[in-house]
Each structure stands twice: as structure tokens, then as C-alpha cells.
Amino acid sequence: MKQLTFIFALILGVVFSTVANKPGKEKEVKIKTSAVCEMCKERIEKNLTLSKGINEAILNLDDKIVTVKYNPSKTNEAAIRKVITDTGYDADNLQCNQTAHDKLPECCQKGNESHAH
Amino acid sequence: MKTLLLIFVFFTGPFLLLAQRVTGTVYERTEAGVKSPLVGVNVFWAETSLGTATDSLGKFDIPRSAKSNRLVISYIGFKTDTLKVSSESNFEIVMKAEGHLGEVVVRGSSSQIDRLNPIHTEIITTKALAKAACCNLSESFETNASVSVSYSDAVTGAKQIQFLGLGGQYVQTNVENVPTIRGLASTFGLNYIPGTWIQSIDVAKGAGSVVNGYESLTGAINVELVKPDAREKLYFNAYVNHLGRGEINFNLNQKLSDKWSTGFLTHASTLQNRVDNNGDGFMDLPLYTQFNGVNRWQYKSDKIMAQFGIKALTENRIGGQTSFNPSEHRATTKLYGFGNQTNRIELFSKTAKLYQDKPYKGLGLVLNASMHNTDSYFGFTNYYGRQRTLYGNLIYQSIINNTNHQFKTGISYLLDDYRETYKDSLMTRTESVPGAFFEYTYNHLDKLTLVAGLRADYHNLFGAFVTPRLHLRWQPLEHTTLRLSAGRGQRTPNAFAEYYGYLVSGRKVSFWGNRIQPEVSWNYGVSLTQTFHWFEKHWDLVIDYYRTDFRNQLIADTDYATQLASYLYFYNLQGKSYSNSFQIELNTLLSKRTEVKLAYRLFDVWQTMGQPFGHVTLQQRMMVPRDRVLFNIGYALPYDKWKLDLTVQWNGKARITNPLQSLEATLDGKHNMPTLFSQSFMNINAQASRAFKKFEVYLGGENLANFKQPNPIINAQDPFGKYFDAGQTWGPVVGRVIYAGIRIKVKD
């Protein structure tokens, strides 16, 4: 039984300590991106969500602002913006990573707003 | 607030030829009133397992189904709904969520009930499969309450399904609607379908459709494999557990042109570490190596859909006493050993002719040929089996006047050629069964569906027989669905393949009485599916009851032993044999990210036994626990960044035998067979997985409570003796297992 408790504690403990959003510790930041379409939205949200310290990312295509909830002891605003630029999009005043941007499908590249899906 | 499903149908214009694929986009309306595509929505044809999921733009593209014109759109948190598709080929669907009010309908949980299917069917999705390591089909039911899987003995590693209180042989196990795990393959067949190849599993309870044959006595499990035109171009999976079992799976799908695509599904796995955790001198799991692969080609045009391919498998197993080495010890009294070499090859093809202007009409042909060789030894006893099978099924479907009256009809042919030797006796059997079937479906506004099927087959050995089946689905209220089913099933049993675990014993095998006849049963079932509101949450409740009554059954009787020997008798049922199965299952979303399932199942299964030794009684079927409770809780963050799952199963007592107790009873001159019961036990599984941008890792544990059946091998110290028996396994032989793995998927 001791071993069992240990394993449970290990698996659940590790996970919940990472996952549990202690509400007091969570911070929120709003970043303006150069997202164009729904594909961009999914790409940015997924890459942000799957990055260290980020609990939730929701991008609103109307104003292109992504709202990121994160744990300030694990990440910071600069790192969050870097995820966005590395995905190929502008983040506030930061320019996107050109290589990543050029790899995006044509419809998702900057200057395609008029063709938004 | 009611869930809304708004459908906008765009006609592509009456002049255009009807596209053979249905495409569309699924959206949700956000609070701001903006349409936002829903990713990963399940889209499938009702009553089939032909399905797909929406991509990152919410788009889906699905070939028309010859079998169904009802397209089901389902997504967790939204009400599953259904479109009737006739000539339209492009849809825009808006599913409106009510999640912000905390009113969410549970879908996409481990046992999603297909709401429109007249047959009570649970769909296990890849999402549910990812809740456990699911190395192969035998491990894919861990979070499912209806199907349980256990080791058939303590030596060979063979696994058996329990379903409606009866063994896996009574369930028709199909791969893409072709009967696959049957005959000699039923021994190890569950290990032959790797989890990463599986796209979805349908579990249908009760007598199945007559279209796929007469062999589904208690139900049908249909496995859909990953298709060559799947979005995942490349899928790599590696798994390892602390006992030393390692697995590698690699899937490759390639679109060659507009019409052609090809897919490779491959698997290699091995265990080379001798594990004896219970200290009985026997390996708890056999050493094994398996190589397994499928290559499939698919052609899709407006008029024809065709696919063909080849499956090949080779597997080697060595078990027995811990230091057993076949080259040194086989067929000697130095050490007891078990070995099996299985080779299997299968050619398959499916062709469907489509009628562009009549989507309800279709003509399909399924052709299959397989060769299965299995070569085993249990100490000094050798068993060899070979099965050659040819199968063809031609199905035509259309309507009578309008789509409220549909029918399927066709002809089938099955050829099974068996050649088995056990010790010195040779047994051969060739079965040739032509048949014809007709199935009529009446549908009234999706409120009432009646399916009446009839098939007639002529068996060269056992004569002509008729298989009637009836299914009724009635939805009197929006949240209430009732189903009734009744039907006959028949199959020819294979004593050695189905009771393989009993062969790992000192028992004397004896066929008693007349030649073994086909097993015939009638199955009756009733089920209720209800969704309701309680404590501001949505709940799904499923209650079902099934009864299987055998007219004839192969009885495997291990209840007798004398001073001369202990016995394994095979004989035809004389008297009653029946199974009652009752199940109640409750699902809910505790919060946006936490889903919970609680299920209780009761099996009451009895057989008339004891004729060969003159103690005829109605006995409980062996190894069937009367009670079982299953609890599953799953937690997932958006994009499955973290996913946690915990499953607890409690298994009640089951009847078992012990040759030494049987001997005692015989010596005492008792007229009642001894009735022994196993212990009840708890099985706890847990898994955590973490998704990164390009891959996913998982870590989990099985049997975390580390429960081990005490003395799973009776008389382990005397394996060449009369009363040695490794076939009385009712619980885990190996203790806790910790595993880890990685999944890498490349989409286009």
C-alpha cells in the first residue's frame, strides 16, 4: 500500500503541481498579433498553450489580440512574445521571425487580410 | 438553454453531378457572435464507422457512405446531431455551445453511445484510446465498462474478452466489417491489432446485423484502421515498460494522386526479460517477438471506391519455467516449457460502386483470403493448427419508394478449412457455407427505427439454417432512447483455440459423446439511454439488460479428476445454458475539463455440466466474476497539454476449479462438484501525458495496487504431474507495471 500511495503521489503530484492554476499566482497579458485567419489562430494558440508556464491562450480574430494566462514564476512576457514571433507572427512591436513567417501557408502570411477565411 | 444546431445547406446546383464526397465546415458561435471553426469535431455516417474529424479550419471531407445517409456531427460539450444528406454535398454547420452556462452534454467520453444506431453501439474514439497505453486491441478496453479482458492462463499470455458474461468467441470481431479474429486466431488475435493502427472501435451489444454473417451471438466489435488518406502522414510511437517489453509502431500514409493513396501500418514488439514476480518458478509473461504489418492501396473516384492490401504477421512465444530454453529442454523432463509460433497472412479487398445521382444506392463487394498457422507445445504435448479461409460478401443497398424504407440484400460465401493435430490425433474440417440475406430498415423521422433482417445459409456439414434478427430504436422524448433487440446466432466452435489456456495443464483431453455440433443461441436485449440535468450538470445514463440462451454450446469441463488423471472434457450442451447481463453506466462532465464515468455490471451465467462423470448440475460459468465496478476520471487541458486519467476496476468473485479439490470430491464419493471461488480484487490504472509542439509523451501504470493472484499455477512444483494446471487464472499474474512512451505525429 505504501508503494501504491507513493506512485499515486508521484504521478498525480507531479502533474497537479504543474497544472493546478493557483489563481493568485496567475497573470494575464494581452498581445497584439499579425494573425490573419482561423489557421493562424489555432497555430498561435497551440504553440502558446504547449509552451512552458502558459495555462491558456485565446486569440480573438476581430482585434487580433491574444489573451495569455501564465505563471510568472515559470515564464515572462518576453518569452511569450518570442513564442509568437517564432511561430511567424508579429507580437505587439516585435517583428516576426522571417524564416518562420515564410514557411507559413500563403493565406496566413502578412498582407493577406483581405483573403481572410 | 437549449443547444442549437443550425444548418445551412448550400446546394451545389441541380445541374452539377453529385459529388461523391461530402464536405463542410463546422463552426461554433462565440459569445461575441463571431463564427469560429471547431477543430477535431467527429463527423461520421450513422450506423457505420466511416468517419473523420474536422481540421484546423473546421473543415471536413468525407466520402459518401453506401450504408448511411445520416451524417452525425459530434463534439464534446455540444449536442451530437445528425444531418440527413441526400444530394447536397457542402454544408456549413454552426454548433452553439452552452458551456459558459455550465450546461454541457457529455460526448466524446470513452463510451460514446451512437444515438441514432438502432443497435446499441458504443464508440471508442482515438481520444478514449489515448487514455491508456493501448499497445494493442486487448488493452483498448480499459476504460470501457462493457468489455473486459483477462489472461486466459498463467503461461501463454493469451487474452480473453468477457462480454455479456461470455467469452470473446461469441462476439464477432471484425476489422472494417470483415470477420477477422475468429477460428484459430481467437487464441492470440487480440494481440494482433496494434493500438496505433486503430482509428476507432465500435462495440455493438446484442445480436448484430445479418449483413456481416450469423456468427455474432452476443455482439459485434468492429475495428476501423487508420486510412491511407488520413491527415496524419506519419505517426511514430515507441513504448517501453519496466518489465522490459518494448514496442515500435510506424504508420506512413501517402496520397499518390487525386484518386490513389497508399498506407503502411507497421509494428514490432518484444519482451526478452524473464519475469517471475510471484516466485513460483514460472515466467509470469512469455518471452515474445512480434512483427506485424499492413499495406493498403485505396482508389477513390466518383464512380468507384476500391481498396486492397495485404496483412502479414509472425509471432514467437516462449514461456514456462524460468530458465526454460527450447533447444536444451524442450520435450524433456528437465524443465517445463511452452512455445508457440504463429504465422498469418491475409489478402483483402473492398470495392464499392457508387451511383452519383442516387446516394442511397450502392453495391459493394468484400473479398478476403487468409492463412493462419499456429504451432505450439505444452511440455510434451504438441498442438498444431492451420486454418485457410476464403470470404466473400456482395451487398446491394437501395430504398423502397423513399429513404424511410431502406434495404440491404446480398449473398455471401465462407470457406473454412481446418487441419489440427493434438498429440497424435489429426482433426480436419472443411466448412463451406453459401448464404443470402435481406435486411429492411424503416425510419420514421429518426424517432423510430426498425431493422428486420433475415439470412439463410447452407452449411455443408450441419445443414441449412435461418438467422432472423430484429432491432428497434424508439426515441419517445428528446433525451430518452429505448432499444430492443432479438436474434439468433450460430458458430462452429474450435475447442483447442478457444480453450487454449486449459491446455497448459496435466489434464487428459477427452471429447465426450457425439461429434461437436455448432453453438446456437438466441440473444434478447433491452437498453435505455437517458440524458438529464442534475446539480447543474448534464448526465448520461445508460442501462441495459441482455440475455443469451444457448440451444447448443461447446462445454469445456474441468471439474473432474480421479486418481488416474485430471480431465478436460469437451462435449455438447445437454440441458440449460444461459447468461444474464445487466449494466448501468453514468457519465458526466464535472467541470469543463474533467469527465467522470461510473459503471456497475452484473453477470449471472450458468451452464449444465458434469455429464461425462455422471454429476449433472447447473454450474456457474468458470472465471466469470458476478460483479464488476468501473470508475474513470479524466482531466485534460486545452490542446491536451496535460492529460490525466485514473481508472479503478473492482472485480468480484468468480467460480474456479482446482484438480486437487476435484480429486478429493471424487475420493469422498461426493455427488456434488466442489464449488470454489476466487477472491475479489481491485485493479487501478493511471496515466499522465504531456503534449509538446511536435510530440507527446506519456507515463502510466497498470495494476498500481500491485494485486497478484496467489498461486496462479496449481501444482507449479510438479509441472509434468497429473494435477498441474496453469489454466485457472482469474486475476493479474504479473504485478504492477510502469510504462512510458512517445507519440510523434506529422500532419500535412
Domain end point (choices B105, B129, B158): B105
Instruction: Indicate if the pLDDT at residue B96 is higher than 70.
Output: no
A38 at interface of B, judged by CB pairs closer than 8 A: yes
Same-domain check for residues B46 and B194? no
The CATH number of whichever domain residue B26 belongs to comes to: 2.60.40.1120
Q: Report the gap between the CA of B574 and the closest CA in chain A (Å).
A: 47
Q: Do the Cβ atoms of B56 and A43 come within 8 Å?
A: yes
Residues B504 and B651 both lie in one domain? yes
pLDDT mean over A69-96: 90
Specify if B114 maps to a domain.
Answer: no
Interface test with B, best of A16, A45, A50 (most B CBs within 10 A): A50
The reply to whether B238 and B370 lie within a common domain is yes
Quick check: B36 and A38 CB within 8 A?
Answer: yes
- Domain of residue B346, CATH code: 2.40.170.20
Domain with B66, as residue range(s), is 4-105
The nearest CA of chain B is from the CA of A47 a distance in Å of 6
Q: Does A55 contact B704 at a Cβ distance shorter than 8 Å?
A: no
Could you state, in order of their start, the residue ranges of all structural domains in chain A?
24-115
- B615 pLDDT tier (thresholds 50, 70, 90): confident
Taking each helix axis as running N to C, give the angle between helix A77-87 and helix A38-49, from 0 to 180 degrees, rounded to the nearest 10: 140
Answer whether residue B485 is part of any domain: yes
Q: Do B394 and B300 belong together in one domain?
A: yes
Together in a domain, B100 and B161 = no
Task: For residue B55, give the chain A residue with the closest CA.
Answer: A39
Same domain, B75 and B187: no
Element (H, E) at B482: strand B480-491
Whether residues B125 and B64 share a domain: the answer is: no
Q: What is the pLDDT of residue B183?
A: 93
C-alpha cell belonging to residue B173: 470481431
Residues of A in contact with B686 (CB under 8 A): 7-8, 11-12
**Residue whose grid cell is 511536435:** B694
Residue numbers in A near B738 (CB within 8 A) = 7
Per-residue pLDDT band at A20 (split at 50, 70, 90): low
Residues of B in contact with A37 (CB under 8 A): 57
Is some CB atom of chain B closer than 8 A to the CB atom of A115? no
Domain membership flag for residue B112: no
Q: Supply the pLDDT for residue B2.
A: 35
Same domain, B198 and B64: no
**Close Cβ partners of B80 (under 8 Å, ≥ 6 residues apart):** B72, B73, B74, B105, B107, B115
How close A84 comes to chain B (CA, Å)? 13
* Surface-to-core class of residue B313, CB atoms within 10 Å of its CB (0-12 exposed, 13-18 middle, 19+ buried): buried
| For B696, nearest residue in chain A (alpha carbons) | A50
pLDDT digits (tens, 9 = 90+) for B427-441: 999 999 999 999 999
Mind telling me how many Å the CA of B261 is from chain A's nearest CA?
Answer: 23
Residues B226-240: tens digit of each pLDDT: 888 877 789 999 999
Tens of pLDDT along B363-379? 999 999 999 999 999 99
B568: left (phi over 0), alpha (psi -120 to 50) or beta: beta
Q: Indicate yes or no: CB of B639 within 8 angstroms of CB of A45.
A: yes
List, as one string, the DSSP characters of B349-402: EEEEEE-TT-TT-EEEEEEEEEEEEEEEEETTEEEEEEEEEEEEEEEEEEEESE
Residues of chain A contacting B701 with CB distance shorter than 8 Å: 7, 11
State yes or no: pLDDT of B672 exceeds 70: no
Q: Domain tally for chain B?
A: 2
Q: Please tell me which of the candidates A7, A8, A50 has its beta carbon nearest to residue B641.
A: A50
| pLDDT score for A14 | 53
First to last CA, chain A: 56
**Chain A nearest C-alpha distance from B27 (Å):** 11
Q: Between chain A and chain B, how many beta carbons pairs sit less than 8 Å apart?
A: 67
Q: Distance (Å, rounded) from C-alpha B595 to C-alpha B605?
A: 32
ipTM of the complex as predicted: 0.72
B699: which chain A residues are within 8 Å (Cβ-Cβ)?
11
Q: Quick check: A92 contacting B, CB < 8 Å? A: no
A41 interaction partners in chain B (CB closer than 8 Å): 36
Q: How far apart are CA B21 and CA B8, in angstroms?
A: 18
Residue B266 lies in a domain: yes
Which residues 659-688 in chain B show a CB within 8 A of chain A?
684, 686, 688
Of B556, B692, B680, nearest in space to B612 by CA: B556
Contact B240, B253 (CB under 8 A): no
For residue B735, which residues of chain A lie inside 8 Å, CB to CB? Answer: none
Q: In the structure grid, which three cell numbers stand for residue B228, read together?
A: 491511407
Of B70, B105, B140, the one marking the end of a domain is B105
Residues B720 and B645 in one domain: yes
Q: Do the Cβ atoms of B704 and A45 come within 8 Å?
A: no
Residue B450 has pLDDT above 90, yes or no: yes
* C-alpha cell of residue B63: 466520402
Interface test with A, best of B639, B642, B703, B737 (most A CBs within 10 A): B639
Using the beta-carbon criterion (under 8 Å), do B56 and A7 form an inter-chain contact? no
- Which of B105, B136, B152 is a domain's end point? B105
Query: Does one domain contain both B139 and B83?
Result: no
Q: Which residues of B touch A55 (CB under 8 A)?
A: 637
Is pLDDT larger for residue B151 or for residue B599?
B599
Please say whether the beta carbons of B439 and B408 come within 8 A: yes
Lowest mean pLDDT among B132-136, B375-379, B390-394: B132-136
Q: How confident is the model at residue B30 (pLDDT cuts 50, 70, 90)?
A: low
Closest chain B residue to A52, measured at CA: B692
B92 and B125 in a single domain? The answer is no
pLDDT tens digits, A55-70 = 889 998 888 899 999 9
Is B747 inside any structural domain?
no
pLDDT score of B31: 54
Q: pLDDT (tens digit, 9 = 90+) per residue, B489-537?
A: 999 999 999 999 999 999 999 999 989 999 999 999 999 999 888 888 8
Tell whether B659 is covered by a domain: yes
Mean residue pLDDT across chain B = 87
Would B166 be classed as within a structural domain? yes
A43 interfaces chain B, CB cutoff of 8 Å? yes
d(CA B187, CA B193): 13
Q: Which pLDDT belongs to residue B599?
A: 95
Query: Does the pLDDT value for residue B688 go beyond 80?
Result: yes
Same domain, yes or no: B41 and B165: no
Q: For residue B165, is it within any domain? A: yes
Q: Do B704 and A47 touch (CB under 8 A)?
A: no
pLDDT at B102 > cutoff 60? no
Domain A24-115 = CATH 3.30.70.100: yes
The predicted model gives A13-29 an average pLDDT of 62
Which site among A2, A36, A38 would you substitute to test the B interface, given the most B Cβ atoms closer than 10 Å to its Cβ? A38
